[in-house]
A and B are shown apart, each in its own frame.
Chain A
Amino acid sequence: MSFLQLLWFLLLAVLFIGFFFLEGFDFGVGMATRLLARNERERTQLIATIGPHWDGNEVWLITAGGAMFASYPLWYASLFSGFYIMFFLVLLGLIMRGVSFEFAAHAETARGRSIWRWALFIGSILPPFVLGMIFTAIMQPLPIDSHMDVYAALGDQINLLTIVGGVAVTLMCFMHGLNFIRLKTEGALRIRARAWNQKLSWLLYAGEVVFAVLVFFQTDFFAKRPLSTGLIIVLIVCAAVIQHLGVLQDKELLSFIGSGLGLTLVVALIFNGLFPRVLIGTNAAHSLLITQASASPLTLKIMTIVTCILLPIALAYFIWAYVVFHKRIPEVKAA
C-alpha cells in the first residue's frame, strides 16, 4: 500500500466526516421542523438558521462521492451499483429536500407551503437513515463475486445492524441539529431543544450500547482490530457524555461539539474497521482491498496537489459564510 493510497483513504473519511458533521445538523434542523416546531412561525425561524448554509453543506457529499470516484473508482463502482435502491432513496430524499426551500418560499397558499415543508421533513429523515444503513451494511461481509460486483440480497441491506445503524445515525443527526438550534436561535425553540436533548441523551446511550454489541457479533471489527475498535467505541460514548454534559450545564457549544464528535467517530469506526479493505466479501478472497481499488499513482498524485490547493480556499470562504451569519435568529413575531 502506497502513502497516497493511505492518504486518500483517510481523505475520504475526512470528507464523509465533513458531510455528516455539517449536513448532519441541517438534516437535524429539517427533522426539527416537524418534531420540535409547533407552528409555521417556529418552522420559519428554524429554516432561517440553515438557509444560507444547507447547499454548501450538501456539497460535502458531492465532493466525497466525486473524490471516491477519482481516488477509489472500483470502490465507488461496486458500492453504488451494489446498493442501488438504497442510493436511489438517498437521491429521492435529497431531491425533495433540495427544492423544498426555494419552492416553499414561492408558494403562497398555506397548503402549498405545507407540502414543501413536509418535503423538507421527509427529505431530512430519509437520507441520514438510508446512509446509516448503507454504511453499517458495508461493515458486514457482502456477497461479492470475482468481478467485484456486489450482489447484496435484501438481508444484506436490511438486518438488525443496519436498522440500528440507520436509526442511530438519524438520531445523532437530530440531536446534532437540536444542538445547532440551541446555538443559533433565541427564545422558546432554544429552550425546548435543550429539553429534548436532555431526554434523547439517554436514548442515545442505549442505542450506542446496542450498536456496540451488534458490531461485536455481526462484524469482524473486534476480531481484526480489537484495540482501535474498542477505543473508538469508548470515544463515541465519551462524545455522547460530552454532549450530555453540555445539555445539563447549558453549554451549547460543548453539546454541539459532542454531537458532532459522535458523528465523526462513527465514520472513523467504519473506516478503521474496514482497513485495509474497502468492501468485505463473504468470500474473503473477493474482498475489495485498498491496494486493488485505488486509482493509479499519477491520478492520486494530481488529486492530492489539486486538493491541497483548492480545499483550503474553499474552506476559507465556507467558514467566512458562517462568520457572516453568526448571529442568532430571533423569534418570528406573529403578524
Chain B
Amino acid sequence: MLLGVSVLDLARFQFAMTTVFHFFFVPFSIGMALVTAIMETMYVRKKDPLYKKMTLFWGKIFLLSFAVGVVTGIIQEFQFGMNWSNYSRFMGDIFGAPLAIEALLAFFMESTFIGLWMFTWDRFKPALHAAMIWFVWLGTTLSAIWILSANSFMQHPTGFAINEATGRVKLVDFGAVITNPQLWVEFPHVIFGAFTTAGFAVAGMAAWRLLKHDHVDFYHRSLRVGLTVGLIAVVGAIGVGDLQTQFIIKDQPMKFAATEGVYKDTKDPAPWALVELIDTKNHQVSGNIEIPYLLSLLSYHKTSGAVKGMETVDQELQAKYGKDKNYYVPVKTLFWSFRVMSGGGVLLALVAILGLWFSRKKNNTLLQKRWLLWVLGLCLWLPFILNTAGWLITELGRYPWTVYGLFTIADSISATTTAGQLWFSNIVYFLIFSLLGGVMVYYSHRNLRHGPDADLHTDYGVAADPFAKEAFGK
C-alpha cells in the first residue's frame, strides 16, 4: 500500500491504461487496412491514378497506426504473465491456445504481407499488389476473432471443466470455445466498430482539408469512400449491438441493469432513461428523463416486459456465488458509457447520411455546407471514444470476475509483483504512450498538411535521398 493504492489497483490501472491505449490503434488500423484495400482495388479496376494516390496517402496513415498498434500489442501478451500470473495459471489451458493461434495465423500474415505491400509497388503487377493489402486486412481481422474468442470465454465460459485436483480450468471442448455465442455477437460488433473508426477518421480528416478548399477532388472522393464504409459499418455495429444486448440481458443481467441504471425491478412496460442521476450508495435514481416503452422494446423487441433491477440480480448472484463478494459493478460508468456509445453511434449514422446526401453527384453542395464539414471533422475523434466506452461496459461490467462466475479479479494477480514494480512500469508506460500518441497524431497531421502531392512512396529511411528507389534493389 502506497498512497492508499494497492497492488491490485495498480495492476488494474495498468491493464486499463495499456488496453485502452492499444485499442485506439487496433480498430483504427483494422479499418484503415480495409479502406486502403478498397481504394487500391478501385485503382486496379478503374486505373484512375487518383485512387493510387489515395491508396498511398491513406496507406501512410494506416502504417503509422499499425506500428503503434503492434508495439502496444506485445505488452498485452506479456502482461498476463507479468501482472496476472495466477489468472494465467487458472486459465492457461484455454486462454493460451487462441493467443498462439492468433500469432500463427494472423500475426505472421499481417506482418509478412505488410512488408510485401510496402516494398513492392514497382515490382508487382497492380492486381497482385492489391492482393497484398487484402491479406494484411485478412490478418488483422483474423487476429480480432482469436483474441475475442479468448475474451468471450472470460465473459461467458464454454467448453471447459474444472480440474478437481488443481482447481484450474481444463479444456474439454475446443469447438464450444470457438462457437461461443458471446464471441459471435462480440466479434461482429468490434469489427464493425473498427470499420466505423477508419471510415469516419478518413472522412473527418478529409473534411478538415475541404474546409480549406485543399485538393478538393482528392479529399472529396476520399470523404465519400470513408463515409460509405463508415455508414455501412456503424449501421452494422448498431444492429449487432442490439443482438449483443439480447444476449447480455440473460447472460450478465448485472451488467445490463447497470447500463440502464435500474436498481429496482422496472414496471411493465419498462421506460428507458435517457439521463438520470444515480446515487450508488443509497441505490436511488432521480432526475430521470424517460421515454416510455423503449426499454422493453430494446430488451425484448416488444412493447411489454419488465427488466430486472440490480438489487434483484444481486440477490440471485449472492445465492449462486456466495455472500462474500460485492457484485455491484461501477454503475455510473456503465450507464453513461452506454449512452455515449449508443448515442454516438446514432449520431455518426445521421452525419454520414447527411454527408453522403449533400455530396451526391447530381447536386453536390458539400463545400458550401461548412457547418457539416465542421461536424464531420469533429466526428473524426468520436469513434475512438465510442470504442473505449464499449470496452468499459464489457470489461468493467464483468466485475468482480476475470472469468465470469469462475475466477475473481482479486485472485488473478501475481503474488510476486510489487507496488514498486507497478508504479515504475505505470509511470514509464504513461510517458511512452503520451509520446507515441502525440507523435502519431503529429505525423498524421503533417501528412495531411503536406497533402497528396508530396512524395508518397513509403521511403523507410530514404526520404532525404533522391535515389530512393534504387535502394530497394531493382
Q: Which residues of A contact B (CB under 8 A)?
A: 40-41, 43-45, 47-48, 51-53, 55-56, 58-59, 61-63, 65-71, 73-74, 76-82, 84-85, 87-88, 90-92, 94-95, 98-99, 101-108, 110, 113, 147-151, 295-296, 298-299, 302-303, 306-307, 310-311, 314, 317-318, 321, 324-325, 327-330, 332-333, 335
Who on chain A is nearest to B87 by CB? A77
Known pairs A67-B100, A82-B416; list 8 more (Cβ under 8 Å).
A51-B461, A66-B100, A77-B86, A80-B78, A95-B71, A98-B67, A328-B473, A335-B465
Q: Are B85 and A335 in contact (CB under 8 A)?
A: no
**Which of the listed residues B77, B81, B417, B447 has the most CB atoms from chain A within 10 Å of its own CB?**
B81
**Which of the listed residues B96, B417, B473 has the most CB atoms from chain A within 10 Å of its own CB?**
B96
Q: Which residues of B contact A (CB under 8 A)?
A: 60, 63-64, 66-68, 70-72, 74-75, 77-78, 80-83, 85-86, 88-89, 91-97, 99-105, 107-109, 111-116, 118-120, 123, 163, 170-172, 174, 414-417, 421, 424-425, 428, 432, 436, 439, 443, 446-447, 458-467, 470-473
Who on chain A is nearest to B115 by CB? A52
Provide a sorted-by-A list of 12 A–B residue pairs whose CB atoms are within 8 angstroms: A43-B461, A51-B115, A51-B460, A53-B115, A55-B111, A71-B96, A73-B91, A73-B95, A74-B89, A91-B74, A95-B72, A306-B104
Specify which chain A residues have a CB less than 8 angstroms from the CB of B443 in the assembled complex.
103, 106-107
B24 to chain A, nearest CB (A): 14
Number of A-B contacts (CB under 8 A): 267
Q: Are B88 and A332 in contact (CB under 8 A)?
A: no
Q: Are B100 and A51 in contact (CB under 8 A)?
A: no
How many angstroms between the C-alpha atoms of A52 and B63 in the bound complex? 13
Instruction: Given the known inter-chain contacts A149-B416, A306-B104, please indicate yes or no for A48 contacting B95, CB distance below 8 A.
Output: no
Specify which chain B residues have a CB less than 8 angstroms from the CB of A106 in the assembled complex.
60, 64, 443, 446-447
Q: Are A55 and B463 in contact (CB under 8 A)?
A: no
Q: Are A56 and B425 in contact (CB under 8 A)?
A: no
Q: Are B80 and A85 in contact (CB under 8 A)?
A: no
A121 to chain B, nearest CB (A): 13
Complex partner residue of B473 from A40, A68, A107, A329, CB under 8 angstroms = A329
Q: Are A80 and B174 in contact (CB under 8 A)?
A: no
How many angstroms between the C-alpha atoms of A324 and B83 in the bound complex? 41
Q: Are B67 and A62 in contact (CB under 8 A)?
A: no
Complex partner residue of A105 from B88, B103, B171, B460, CB under 8 angstroms = B460
A76 to chain B, nearest CB (A): 5
**Which of the listed residues A41, A105, A295, A333 has the most CB atoms from chain B within 10 Å of its own CB?**
A105
B63 to chain A, nearest CB (A): 6
How many angstroms between the C-alpha atoms of A108 and B93 in the bound complex? 48
How many angstroms between the C-alpha atoms of A76 and B95 in the bound complex? 12
Who on chain B is nearest to A98 by CB? B71
Q: Are A69 and B471 in contact (CB under 8 A)?
A: no
Specify which chain B residues have a CB less than 8 angstroms from the CB of A306 in the assembled complex.
97, 100-101, 104
How many angstroms between the C-alpha atoms of A314 and B78 in the bound complex? 23
Which 7 A-B residue pairs are closest in the complex by CB-CB distance? A73-B92, A80-B81, A70-B96, A52-B115, A69-B96, A327-B473, A98-B71
Instruction: Given the known inter-chain contacts A101-B460, A106-B64, please indicate yes or no for A332 contacting B118, CB distance below 8 A.
Output: no
Instruction: Given the known inter-chain contacts A65-B77, A101-B460, A102-B64, please indicate yes or no for A295 contacting B107, CB distance below 8 A.
Output: no
B148 to chain A, nearest CB (A): 15
B274 to chain A, nearest CB (A): 42
B81 to chain A, nearest CB (A): 3
Specify which chain B residues have a CB less than 8 angstroms from the CB of A314 in the assembled complex.
104-105, 108-109, 112
Specify which chain A residues have a CB less than 8 angstroms from the CB of B63 in the assembled complex.
102
Q: Are B81 and A81 in contact (CB under 8 A)?
A: yes
Q: Are B465 and A59 in contact (CB under 8 A)?
A: no
Instruction: Given the known inter-chain contacts A48-B472, A59-B108, A328-B473, please indicate yes or no for A77 contacting B460, CB distance below 8 A.
Output: no
B415 to chain A, nearest CB (A): 5
Complex partner residue of B96 from A59, A66, A78, A103, CB under 8 angstroms = A66
